[in-house]
Each structure stands twice: as structure tokens, then as C-alpha cells.
Amino acid sequence: MPADTIAFVSTYDHPSRDSIERMLRQAFPEFKFETISTLDVVKRHHRAWLPSNLLYMAREFGTKILKRRNTVREAYLQTTYLFRQLKKVMPQYIDPKRHVFSFQTQSLYDTSVPGVPHFIYTDHTHLSNTRSPYFDRRFLRSKAWIALERGIYTNAACVFTRSSDVTADLDHFYSIAPWQVACVYAGSNLPARRDFVAANEGYSNRHILFVGTDWERKGGPELLEAFRTVVETYPDARLTIVGTNPQIDHPNVHVAGVVPLEDVAKYYASASIFCLPTRLEPFGIAFLEAMSYRLPVVATTEGAVPDMVRPGVNGLLVAPGDTAGIAASLLELFASPAKCAEFGAAGYKHVLENYTWDRVGQRMRERIMATLHQEQARNVAQPVRHTRAASGR
């Protein structure tokens, strides 16, 4: 009986994990579906692996744990020992007789199994961090771990990326051939309805929205400093912060904190500008959410952002850390609600054409099915070559 099941391998609880699983199920309705969590696999083998992994933790992360650069849990899951042990046991969970292909989210481990075409979908590589001056190189992983990471990519039939910068990094840092990589983008976890109606007074309510879980890394302090400059020109300007809880004492700043995903929509609907001046960004789903709600975007040139935000088309970009540039961009948009509306419409169009899970699924299906057909053709051709060789003798 031919293999008929997809092995969906989740390497950690990524915010888009559920969206990716739904996308994959819809893109491949002819196959059965099996979910494998690497965290569950680690738990099953915890007792056998614990003694050796503790030694590797001490060797590879002891100083970092003492200096609180890594938690014990992070260190436990990031050792080279655990990486190799997961690789060894994956044949217990992925079977060439049952699985038509395996699909792994993120690039934390190598879960490929010989005989099963393996695909990866990632928004980052570890060495991508080194492009940003914000990245603290004390968090750089060991050469041994990075060598294992390179194996993740070389063992994949195809590495799907979310952005062109990660595609370039796979070539630049890991020497992965361009034919082995495909940029397919990503979808929004909070898509807006086509009949959506904004509540921002025609982009004239001077309301700025920040959505992010990491205030420092995503440029919150720079935004706050820029906002103080903006208020000097527009005393009625407002800033709302969603997803994090910085301690801010300013009458025009509202810290909403962490809110359920379904409640974030009302904040997008009431804003006139979305601003996330990130310093270090693997991807940034919030940019897609904002554009889905037709908001003009002020952001930085970091990571995947230039793929999503086109300067002068759907937003404005500045260099990471450029507080004056952030303020100038916000003031420019506040001065022209018409430009805000124009940018918002262009951003929404950009999302529909490139950043929906349906579009991502279509791109993946085309590449994966082509690979499966090539594998099938090779398997059929091999016995023919053997027969001819035998007759030639």
C-alpha cells in the first residue's frame, strides 16, 4: 500500500503553527495528516536522555545560565546532544511506508528521515541574527550547533522561507544552493473581512498603534521618544501599545497589554497609522495584520520588512534606531490623511496578492508535488537501469 500520510512536525509553539497546519491540510486534501511535536518526543525520551543532556548543558550553556542569558529550559532544548538524539529517534515516528512526505516548522532541529522527502518552512536562520547590530553576540550558538543547523537545510528536499532576506542568508551563511530554497511568504493570523469599515475618522484621528510582544527588540523605546516629538506638533496624538506592558507615564499613551487575538482587531480598526520600528525581526506577522486592516505602516529596513512595506507605496521605512526618522514619518502621514488612505489601500492589495495562507499553500503544493513526482520517476527508473546492466553482462 503506497504512503498516504503527511508527517507535520512542529518544533515549538510558534504563533502561526495552527495557521500553517490549516493551510497544509487545505493544500493537500488527498492525504491523511499526522502531527508530531518534537517537545512531545523529548518528553517521551526524557529519562534516557537526561543524564547526558545535563552534562552537555553544563558544557555548552553553564556560563550563560549563571549569567542569566539562557534559562535552564532553553539550554536543555538547545544542546547539540539533544539535537543529535532527536535526529536518531525520528525514524520511530516517520516511516517511508506510511508518510508521503514530512513537513517541519522552523529550523531548530533536523527531523528528516531517509526515504521520506522532507520540507522545512522557516522565518529565520540562526546566523541571520548576525546581520543586526542589535543582536548580542553573547547569544550566538556554538560552531558545533551551527554545523548541525547547516545539516537541517542540506537534508531538506526544499527549504521554504517567509522572506527574501532569509533566502539570501541560506546561500550566504550556509552555502545552500538556490534551487533548494523557495520564498513563499506567509499569511496573516488575523485577516480582515472585505467588508471591513475603519473607525479612524478617515485616518484623521491621529492614533498610532504598536503591536508586539517584545517592547525593547521591536523598537518601542524609539517609538516612544519619536511620539514625544510628534505630540509637540499634534497635542491630540495618541499611541496605543498592544501585546506588552512597558511602564509608561504619558497622558496620550494607552498600554493595553496582552489581549486575546480576536480582540486585537478593534485596535487595528481604530488606528490611523501602524508603527513597529523593530530592531531585530525574524518576520513580523503584525505588519500583515495591520495592512489587512488597511493601515499605512511606519517601520524599519530590518529583516523581512522591506518585502512587506514598500516605501512610498504602502508605508515609510527608516533605519533601525532612527528616532528622528520615525518622528518625521509619523508627522508626514498625520499631515495627509489622503496619503494614509492611499497607503492603506495599497497595503491591503499587497497582502491579498502575496500574503494569504491560501497563496502560500498553492506555492508550496506546486513545489512539493513536483518533488514527489520526481522521486516517483526515479524509483520507477532504477529497476530499469539494473535490468539493462544485467542483460549487458
Task: Give, for 326, the enclosing helix (H) or strand (E).
Answer: helix 323-334
| pLDDT for residue 368 | 98
How sure is the predictor about 261, in pLDDT bands with cuts at 50, 70 and 90? confident
Tell me the pLDDT tens digit for each residue of 124-183: 999 999 988 888 888 899 999 999 999 999 999 999 999 999 999 999 999 999 999 999
Q: With beta carbons less than 8 A apart as the criterion, state whether 111 and 9 touch.
A: yes
Q: With beta carbons less than 8 A apart as the criterion, state whether 166 and 128 touch.
A: yes
What is 239-285 written as a DSSP string? EEEES-------TTEEEEES--HHHHHHHHHH-SEEEE--SS-S--H
The DSSP letter of residue 116 is S
Nearest to residue 130, comparing CAs of 162, 106, 165, 84?
165
Cα–Cα distance measured from residue 117 to residue 371, given in angstroms and rounded to the nearest whole number:
8
Cα–Cα distance measured from residue 9 to residue 24, given in angstroms and rounded to the nearest whole number:
12
**Which residues, in sequence order, are bridge partners of residue 254?**
240
| pLDDT for residue 390 | 38
Up-side HSE of residue 344: CA atoms within 13 Å toward CB? Answer: 25
Look at domain 5-187+358-392 and name its CATH class. alpha beta
Coil, strand or helix at 180: helix
| Mean pLDDT across 75-95 | 97
Q: With beta carbons less than 8 A apart as the criterion, state whether 355 and 308 touch.
A: yes
Residues of the chain with pLDDT > 90: what percent? 82
Q: With beta carbons less than 8 A apart as the criterion, state whether 23 and 361 touch.
A: yes
| pLDDT for residue 180 | 96
Q: With beta carbons less than 8 A apart as the criterion, state whether 121 and 20 touch.
A: yes
Where residue 201 falls (left for φ over 0; alpha for ψ -120 to 50; beta otherwise) is left
Nearest to residue 80, comparing CAs of 55, 46, 103?
55
User: What is the residue whose three cell numbers read 471591513?
Assistant: 196
pTM for this predicted structure: 0.89
Tell me the residue type at 390. A
What contacts 133, CB < 8 A, 6 or more positions away?
320
| pLDDT for residue 67 | 87
Nearest to residue 46, comparing CAs of 76, 21, 66, 20?
76
H-state helical runs in 193-311: 220-233, 261-270, 285-292, 305-308
| Mean pLDDT across 339-365 | 96
Tell me the pLDDT tens digit for each residue of 278-315: 999 888 889 999 999 999 999 999 999 999 999 999 99
In the numeric block, which cell numbers belong to residue 304? 523581512
Cα–Cα distance measured from residue 387 to residue 393, given in angstroms and rounded to the nearest whole number:
10
Residue 91 predicted with pLDDT over 70: yes
Tell me the pLDDT tens digit for each residue of 185-232: 999 877 767 777 888 999 999 999 999 999 999 999 999 999 999 999
Find the range with the poorest average confidence among 63-72, 191-200, 248-257, 294-303.
191-200
336-367: b (≥16 Cβ within 10 Å) or e: ebebbbebbebbbebbeebbbbebbbebbeee
| pLDDT for residue 388 | 42
- Are domains 5-187+358-392 and 207-354 of this chain identical in fold? yes
Superfamily grouping for domain 207-354: Glycogen Phosphorylase B; (3.40.50.2000)
Nearest to residue 122, comparing CAs of 90, 89, 167?
167
Residue 392 predicted with pLDDT over 60: no
Give residue limits of the domains in the chain.
5-187+358-392, 207-354
How sure is the predictor about 383, in pLDDT bands with cuts at 50, 70 and 90? low
Q: With beta carbons less than 8 A apart as the criterion, state whether 309 and 332 touch.
A: no
